[in-house]
Amino acid sequence: MEQVSEFALLEQVVIKLAAIVQIGAEAKEPELKEDMDENDLMVMSWIQDDRAGAATKLAGRKSGAVTGAAVVEGLEDHHIEGISCGALKTLAAGIVEALQGPYLNTLDMSDDLKVNVACHLVFSCEGSYNWVHANVQAQHVVEFVNNCEAKYNPNPFHNFAHAVDVAYTVFRFFNLTDAAQYLSETSMFWLLIAAVGHDLGHLGVNNQYLIECSHELAIKYNDRSPLENMHCSTLFQVTSDPEANVFARMEKDVYKEARKGIIGAILHTDITLHGEMVKELGMLYQMNSEQFDNLDPGTPVTETHANVSLVLNALLHCADVNNPMKPWDICRRVAHLCLDEYFAQGDIEKKEGMPVQMLNDRDKVNRPNSQLGFIEFLILPFVELMVNTFPQLDSMATFLGENMGRWSDTWKEETAPGEEAVAKLAARVAKVQTRCKAVTMEFRDIDPGHHK
């Protein structure tokens, strides 16, 4: 019996080791294939060559509201569970309800509404609710969010609407995964703050452009994630204002931990760190798959500080690149805005006689095909691991599979390809959709109501 038990244990260890080796192999950059078309090669090159960051100083500062009709009008002052602050506004019931689902659209909100939504997210997150209401002044949050809104540029994609969407997505991740199991109240609070400020001052161009043109940010930060470093610095410049200091009541040691965590999380939104994050997340899941499959992430995550940091970084990064995992109507709109921003950079590169980066040339990039490659090569492996680790997030995989099919249909409608090209793409789409389905709770036979 002892020998049988030892052999069974050894077999499990071998399976784990094989899975970890596979993770290391899959975490490498995607391999070139003979049947890849020009757009696939562009996406591959973009993934491999995006080594840093972004931006010329764009002329002009934001003045006035970002375009988009207000979803709610006539917001009234109210008290949030004993916190009196005339600057905090009541959200319409429909908006509050939408915050619990995947369909909230920040693109069509007025600036005032986006500010109110961001404040609401900070104060109503279930896992950090008690701590926030005891230790954070409402007026500080309002000033912080307003000051952040003023520092976002009106870029097509990297703007305040995106920041609020990322905060909303982190908020949903917390609620869906019962984050109080594996995160402290303070870390949940500061990750929401990081989400609001994660792209502060974005210039609408990427790190690689900043480095190529020796922009002052690239020089200041030694070509290392110049944009993300600037976002961090700007966030803490905002909180240096006593009226916007959301950390004012934090104990010194707690604040030091929060500052370190915010800097780490925002720096890890740099796409060049994506592959390493996928590898580390895969190892965390494989070493603790039983607990994660049983919706019991507390022990494996809290076992080490490194694991906590990894999960916090992954949650923010996942929220930052969540567009392909959204309902189709939002996914399509945001993807076009993102490509508009890339193309605007491409126009600058052409004008300045610089090499035009991959995905930036509006005359060469096919929009739907670029999204197909982006999903297949970059997003799918990450979503698989996020949903494996937190099965309650499986709607991301469901939407991702659906959107892969939608982009395929759009590509066929716009390009009228030949039968062979259609057949090849159909096989790629089917493979992605199969992998997306395989990580859902239904396919894995996980009871969503089960908790250890």
Nearest to 288 by CA among 388, 382, 384, 381: 388
Nearest-angstrom CA–CA distance, 371 and 26:
20
Q: Which domain holds residue 186?
A: 36-360
Task: Note if 158 is an active site residue.
Answer: yes
DSSP 360: -
Cα dist from 245 to 123, 124, 151, 261, whole Å: 15, 19, 16, 17
pLDDT-derived band of residue 39, with 50, 70 and 90 as boundaries?
Answer: low
Mapped onto helix, strand or coil, the DSSP state of residue 282 is: helix
Residue 345 lies inside a defined structural domain of this protein: yes
- Predicted confidence (pLDDT) at residue 295 exceeds the cutoff of 90: yes
Residue 346 lies inside a defined structural domain of this protein: yes
Nearest-angstrom CA–CA distance, 127 and 170:
12
pLDDT at 64: 31
Residue 412 lies inside a defined structural domain of this protein: no
Residue 98 lies inside a defined structural domain of this protein: yes
Per-residue pLDDT tens digits for 210-226: 999 999 999 999 999 99
Residue 317 lies inside a defined structural domain of this protein: yes
> What share of the chain in percent tops pLDDT 70?
80
pLDDT at 286: 96
Cα dist from 240 to 196, 260, 317, whole Å: 16, 16, 25
Domain count, the chain: 1
Q: Report the Cα 169 to chain-centroid distance in Å.
A: 8
Q: Answer with the residue of higher pLDDT: 119 or 55.
A: 119
Residue 77 lies inside a defined structural domain of this protein: yes
Question: Residue with structure tokens 């992430």?
Answer: 297
pTM score of the predicted model: 0.86
Nearest-angstrom CA–CA distance, 315 and 102:
16
Mapped onto helix, strand or coil, the DSSP state of residue 355 is: coil
DSSP 369: H
Nearest-angstrom CA–CA distance, 109 and 125:
21
Nearest-angstrom CA–CA distance, 333 and 206:
20
Q: What is the mean pLDDT of residues 371-390?
A: 97
Four-residue CA torsion sign, 55, 151, 338, 156: negative
- Predicted confidence (pLDDT) at residue 54 exceeds the cutoff of 60: no
Render the burial of 379-396: b for 16+ CB within 10 Å, e for the rest: bbbbbbbbbbbbbbbbbb
Per-residue pLDDT tens digits for 243-273: 999 999 999 999 999 999 999 999 999 999 9
Strand runs (DSSP E) across 58-135, as ranges? 77-80, 83-89
pLDDT at 358: 87
pLDDT at 449: 73
Helix 367-374 vs helix 419-438: crossing angle, to nearest 10: 40
Nearest-angstrom CA–CA distance, 404 and 146:
36
Residue 8 lies inside a defined structural domain of this protein: no
Q: What angle do CA 171, 271, 319 make, to 5 degrees?
A: 10
Q: What is the mean pLDDT of residues 186-197?
A: 98
CATH number for the domain that contains residue 152: 1.10.1300.10
Q: What is the mean pLDDT of residues 284-288?
A: 97
Residue 214 lies inside a defined structural domain of this protein: yes
DSSP string, 143-166: HHHHHHHHHS---SSSSHHHHHHH
pLDDT at 196: 98
Q: What is the mean pLDDT of residues 338-353?
A: 97
Per-residue pLDDT tens digits for 98-107: 999 999 999 9
- Predicted confidence (pLDDT) at residue 354 exceeds the cutoff of 50: yes
Per-residue pLDDT tens digits for 133-144: 999 999 999 999
pLDDT-derived band of residue 76, with 50, 70 and 90 as boundaries?
Answer: very low
Q: What is the mean pLDDT of residues 87-114?
A: 89
- Pairing label, strands 77-80, 83-89: antiparallel
Find the catalytic residue in 158, 162, 198, 202: 158
The half-sphere exposure of 151 on its side-chain side, counting CA atoms within 13 A, is 24
